[in-house]
Structure 1
Amino acid sequence: MKSRRRRRREHCKFALLLLLYTLVLLLIPSVLDGGRDGDKGAGHCPGLHRSLGVWSLEAAAAGERERGAEAAAEGPAGRPPGSLGNLSRAVGDSAPGEKQHIYVHATWRTGSSFLGELFNQHPDVFYLYEPMWHLWQALYPGDAESLQGALRDMLRSLFRCDFSVLRLYAPSGDPAARAPAAANLTTAALFRWRTNKVICSPPLCPGAARARADVGLVEDAACERSCPPVALRALEAECRKYPVVVIKDVRLLDLGVLVPLLRDPGLNLKVVQLFRDPRAVHNSRLKSRQGLLRESIQVLRTRQRGDRLPRVLLAPGPGGRPGGAPSRALPAAPRADVFLSGALEVICEAWLRDLLFARGAPAWLRRRYLRLRYEDLVRQPRAQLRRLLRFAGLRALAALDAFALNMTRGSAYGADRPFHLSARDAREAVHAWRERLSREQVRQVEAACGPAMRLLAYPRSGEEGDVEPTPDEEAPREVEADGAT
């Protein structure tokens, strides 16, 4: 009798466990489907959903479309005053006379120094060359991804002409960067300050040979001799006088990080993103490998993988030649080249994210975004310069036209000094990779960067359109009398 009751209890337990197991199996698909559907979870935590939408590329664009539709449905009477900030200008251009903020969004070896110099030469522009370099140096060896928020906050301060943020990343014990009798930083603390037109011309530099309005490259040695460092407070005062503030940098890897600045009602931010053929970028990075090694490591730290880094670059083996077939026995690539190649793959992934983000962005954001290819800039410098100036709300200048044209019609590529800005042969700069990279190198770069190349209309080797275009019709002309070079 007792054994029968015990067996009955065991059968009941087994039936109960079987029922619970069946219920779990039935609930799992429902839970998974609910997790995939972002709209279902939004009701439980709408604040979290909105916050995540700022950083999600697709969700950010979708959220703006929904808010735009709601604002249109409410009409002017139902719209809280001042709630849209920059979005209130979505239906048109910026108001006349409004201060403009331009961020040149690029990466290493894409020709961003030349693009930034075009802004540096314009007399209505206050220009800063890669100020985020200070942050990367101070926080080394931090990975690029973890520094993106700090870069954005630094940009916000600099666009407001508040340079006090630089004190956080100033090198300790640098006497050249500090005023003799004060702890305040000076202009000598800025990266590449010797080529800045505002710092190296009156009124900050009364002894300068050229006025601010004169178009022409600044000789860094001459600026250092003639222009003693001044306090950053004086530079902040000059910054506030200019109608357009332009900052160029190469360390911001995610366009979506700029969304809070684009929405900031205190800024009038626009973004110019510069691209270049990844094969040309890789070839240029190889020539300056030692100067880029440290920052390539920081880029690679964003990729937490246990496997070996992909080797996009393989040097030609014995008997191989650039542009020819690779030898059968390729030696192991140098360690520096492995870092450079892995960083290039991360950069191409970032390009693809940015391109997809811009493609799916709402109309107000697309009006504040300009995509530019380096090849188009150097082949048609005057036409692309006018396009840039219209986007930035700047007036066209004949001297600046001549400067842009002559800077792309030099006699050489400048391989000896890759970080020195000078007049170069644009045709050589565009097509040098065809002669210097092996077929295996080209193939692996195309494999790593293929999706971004397709969106940027860069044909793969052997595809239709992969030919050297004929030289454009723009020819150098005589330098204007106002100092263009």
Structure 2
Amino acid sequence: MLDYRSRASNIIKNGPQQPRCPDPEMWNKGDRFNDSTDPVPENGVQATLSRKTHIYLHATWRTGSSFLGELFNQHPDVFYLYEPMWHIWQTLYPGDAASLQGAVRDMMESLFRCDFSVLKLYAGNQNISTAFIFGWKMNKVICSEPLCNGHIRNEVGLVEEVVCGKCQRRDIKELERECKKYPVMVIKGVRVLDLGILVPLVRDPAINLQVIQLFRDPRAVHNSRLKSKQALVKESIQVLRSKKQTDKYKRLLVPNNRGNRADSYVSWAMEMICENWLNDIMLVINAPYWVKRNYMKIRYEDLVLHPMEELQRLYRFSNLTSFPAMDKFVLNMTQGKSYSSDKPFLISSRDAKEAIFAWRLRLSVKQIGEVEAYCSEVMRQLGYEKNNLDSS
């Protein structure tokens, strides 16, 4: 049913695909969702089967996803997990990104069911505890009672890593018990390349997955990725390996200029990110109602320029209610003194406008032109205007 990009690629490229075996379009006469043979329950039935709200924050590297995730991490009704699928990519490196998609979805399904035993597959000789979860030192659930008294769950404020790092490591079973108490569970990740692989979780009435997809101006993403290029080389290689069957990407994996190898990997992975974004957009445009109903699109620029409005929209979609402390928090996080940070992956208060337009000062005209060339269609779909090079 979920042949990768089977319909989206045809829509985008207007050309025939390489034959696949088996071809889901042969089964469904072109309908990749196959509504007629397996109808999805209506809202009332789904609500009965799944009283818990499950949300996946679908993003890519350097789009502001950590900030978006923090808006859920801070909410007292949310059980939040930051990048749990990171363990898969680290353990199975150098496996290409496409081949890891099935494992990513399987892990996500288990976690949404509050079954964390799946993490043992990627633990090696490590003991599975709350300290094994990636990003645990900034997790409000792990750092608050009953697991730890480092923070008060109902108080809004960034978790201090030094404080949380002193928490006693708890067995993963205790974390599972906490997971089951929360009405909303949110997972943030950057390792789903194709929105289509999540459709079975949307369709499953026991999970009824809701997806919030975060986009950002590709030029700003490229600028941020170059700034953090050393930290993104491994992931960029894994993304590029997904296209290793073509001569173009074979050449990219062996750059001639060894001194610029990291830049090459990060830059060409950006091209694939835009391709994946466009495929996702086309999938949603052509999806049936029951997919669109569980999908929300948000732009980073809108989030930081209009934080109050976008926070309300996010929470309505997620069956959450905002409150004054959260409103104050989101405003403070977007009205900082500057954008630059010595630690680009650190969540901190930033100057929203500087964060949005920093690429204009830091990218060359050539770099801007390259990104606009291979991201032109997705920029058009998302409403990002091309740079006026004559006035720059």
**Same fold at TM > 0.5:** yes
Q: Which amino acid aligns with 2:194?
A: D
Residue number in structure 2 paired with 1:59: 31
Give yes or no for contact 1:90–1:364 (8 Å, CA) kept in 2: no
How far 1:382 moved relative to its partner?
0.7
Q: Which amino acid aligns with 2:66?
A: S
Q: 1:11-30 deviations in whole A, cap 9, x for unaligned? A: xxxxxxxxxxxxxxxxxxxx
Give yes or no for contact 1:276–1:375 (8 Å, CA) kept in 2: yes
How far 1:221 moved relative to its partner?
0.8
What are the equivalent positions in structure 2 for 1:237-276 lying under 5 Å apart?
Answer: 237-276=177-216
Determine the C-alpha separation between the residues in 1 that align with 2:241 and 2:249: 13
Determine the C-alpha separation between the residues in 1 that align with 2:229 and 2:158: 26
SS of the equivalent of 2:81 reads: strand
Residue number in structure 2 paired with 1:186: 129
Determine the C-alpha separation between the residues in 1 that align with 2:97 and 2:27: 21
How far 1:268 moved relative to its partner?
2.1
Distance 1:443 1:186, change over 3 A: same
How far 1:52 moved relative to its partner?
7.2
Distance 1:143 1:376, change over 3 A: same
Determine the C-alpha separation between the residues in 2 that align with 1:334 and 1:275: 27
Residue number in structure 1 paired with 2:228: 288
2:272 is aligned with 1:350:
no
How far 1:273 moved relative to its partner?
0.2
Determine the C-alpha separation between the residues in 1 that align with 2:272 and 2:73: 29
Q: Which amino acid aligns with 1:125?
A: V
Q: 1:31-57 deviations in whole A, cap 9, x for unaligned? A: xxxxx8xxxxxxxx9xx6658779x9x
Residue number in structure 2 paired with 1:70: none
- Runs of 5+ in structure 1 lacking a partner? 1-35, 37-44, 68-82, 179-184, 312-330, 468-485
SS of the equivalent of 1:334 reads: helix
SS of the equivalent of 2:375 reads: helix
Q: 2:317 aligns with which of 360, 368, 391?
A: 391
SS of the equivalent of 1:233 reads: helix
What are the equivalent positions in structure 2 for 1:31-46 lying under 5 Å apart?
Answer: none
Give yes or no for contact 1:143–1:301 (8 Å, CA) kept in 2: yes
Q: Which amino acid aligns with 1:215?
A: V
Query: What TM-score results when the alignment is normalised by the length of structure 2?
Result: 0.88
Give yes or no for contact 1:90–1:367 (8 Å, CA) kept in 2: no
Residue number in structure 1 paired with 2:159: 218
Residue number in structure 1 paired with 2:239: 299
SS of the equivalent of 1:101 reads: strand
Residue number in structure 1 paired with 2:349: 423
How far 1:427 moved relative to its partner?
0.6
Distance 1:370 1:281, change over 3 A: same
Residue number in structure 1 paired with 2:146: 203
Give yes or no for contact 1:309–1:342 (8 Å, CA) kept in 2: no
Determine the C-alpha separation between the residues in 2 that align with 1:438 and 1:95: 54
SS of the equivalent of 1:384 reads: helix
Give yes or no for contact 1:379–1:426 (8 Å, CA) kept in 2: yes
Residue number in structure 2 paired with 1:102: 55
Residue number in structure 2 paired with 1:19: none
Determine the C-alpha separation between the residues in 2 that align with 1:222 and 1:458: 41
How far 1:171 moved relative to its partner?
3.8
SS of the equivalent of 2:210 reads: strand
Give yes or no for contact 2:337–2:351 (8 Å, CA) kept in 1: yes
Distance 1:53 1:213, change over 3 A: farther
Residue number in structure 2 paired with 1:118: 71
Give yes or no for contact 1:274–1:374 (8 Å, CA) kept in 2: yes
Residue number in structure 2 paired with 1:234: 174
Q: Which amino acid aligns with 1:189?
A: F
2:358 is aligned with 1:432:
yes
Q: Which amino acid aligns with 2:215?
A: F
SS of the equivalent of 2:339 reads: coil
Determine the C-alpha separation between the residues in 2 that align with 1:52 and 1:403: 51
Q: Which amino acid aligns with 1:236?
A: E
SS of the equivalent of 2:314 reads: helix
Q: Which amino acid aligns with 1:214?
A: E
Q: 2:335 aligns with which of 388, 402, 409?
A: 409
Query: What TM-score results when the alignment is normalised by the length of structure 1?
Result: 0.72
Q: Which amino acid aligns with 1:372?
A: I
Larger Rg: 1
Residue number in structure 2 paired with 1:181: none
Distance 1:91 1:452, change over 3 A: farther
Q: How many residues align?
A: 368
Distance 1:140 1:97, change over 3 A: closer
- Runs of 5+ in structure 2 lacking a partner? 1-15
Determine the C-alpha separation between the residues in 1 that align with 2:234 and 2:344: 16
How far 1:88 moved relative to its partner?
1.4
Q: Which amino acid aligns with 1:444?
A: E
Q: 1:442-464 deviations in whole A, cap 9, x for unaligned? A: 0000111111111001111129x
Give yes or no for contact 2:217–2:379 (8 Å, CA) kept in 1: yes
Residue number in structure 2 paired with 1:89: 42
Distance 1:97 1:91, change over 3 A: closer
How far 1:350 moved relative to its partner?
0.3
Distance 1:455 1:332, change over 3 A: farther
What are the equivalent positions in structure 2 for 1:369-388 lying under 5 Å apart?
Answer: 369-388=295-314
How far 1:91 moved relative to its partner?
8.5
Q: 1:348-391 deviations in whole A, cap 9, x for unaligned? A: 11001000001111111101000000000000001000000000
Q: Which amino acid aligns with 2:42?
A: R
How far 1:90 moved relative to its partner?
5.2
Determine the C-alpha separation between the residues in 1 that align with 2:220 and 2:88: 28
Give yes or no for contact 2:49–2:205 (8 Å, CA) kept in 1: no
2:85 is aligned with 1:144:
no
Q: Which amino acid aligns with 1:278?
A: P
Report the identity percentage.
54
Determine the C-alpha separation between the residues in 2 that align with 1:309 and 1:415: 35
Determine the C-alpha separation between the residues in 2 that align with 1:302 and 1:353: 15
Name the Cα RMSD after superposition: 2.6
How far 1:95 moved relative to its partner?
5.9
